[in-house]
Chain A
């Protein structure tokens, strides 16, 4: 069965510090992979996506993610976190252009 796992439920980071959110996937073949952000009361906003090719992908708001096939991972990073990055982050996989399978999410808290 297809699955996406986000091992960290909560992460607290100081403003200005770096951030890394983990994501592991389990699919029969490499899926398309995505990171979404959800702020309170808001819908899901796409941060970045990976299809193939360059394993380091750049997204919006200064985020990037690295695809590692050997580890079945697609971790999200940001070099310097801003208070406005406090939100919930979801990793998702998609096979053959159909439904998205989401991880359980990681809630990011930013300390001043």
Chain B
């Protein structure tokens, strides 16, 4: 079990460019979450998938953001026309949801985005 992995770990881009991040969850995990963490703050929920279906999106997820999980395995988060306010750590987590209401989320190391 290799845990949740994210790629790239760091991304520096210029304002107005598009960026895409990838998250590979733990095998067999059916839920995948995206969070954003700005400097000095706690992570904030962005969106989550159960298998391929995107079940909830936060108001933080503007029209410039899109997330996909096409085959129910890895996920991508794309930000179009980046703005300086998008600079943050983007965290991915996965979990296995079964009969219990509880599911422990395992976090990846994050992708740190800097928009110049």
Contact = CB atoms under 8 A, between A and B. Distances in A.
Contact of B109 (A43, A100, A104, A105): A43
A42 B42 contact: no
B65 interface: no
Interface in B53-110: 56, 91, 93, 97, 100-105, 107-110
A46 B95 CA distance: 13
Contact of B91 (A4, A44, A46): A44
A97 B97 contact: yes
Interface in A73-112: 90, 92, 94, 96-105
Contacts of A42: 109
Interface of B: 4, 33, 35, 40-45, 48, 56, 91, 93, 97, 100-105, 107-110
A97 B41 CA distance: 23
B103 A44 contact: no
B1 to A, nearest CB: 15
B44 A102 contact: yes
B22 to A, nearest CB: 15
A87 B44 CA distance: 19
A97 B102 contact: yes
Interface of A: 4, 6, 32, 36, 41-46, 49, 51, 90, 92, 94, 96-105
Given A43-B109, A44-B91, A49-B104, A100 B97 contact: no
5 contacts: A43-B107, A44-B93, A97-B103, A102-B42, A104-B42
Given A43-B91, A43-B107, A43-B109, A97 B101 contact: yes
A100 B56 CA distance: 13
A100 B44 CA distance: 8
Nearest to B95: A97
Contact of B33 (A36, A41, A45, A99): A99
A94 B97 CA distance: 14
Contact of B45 (A45, A46, A90, A101): A101
A97 B91 contact: no
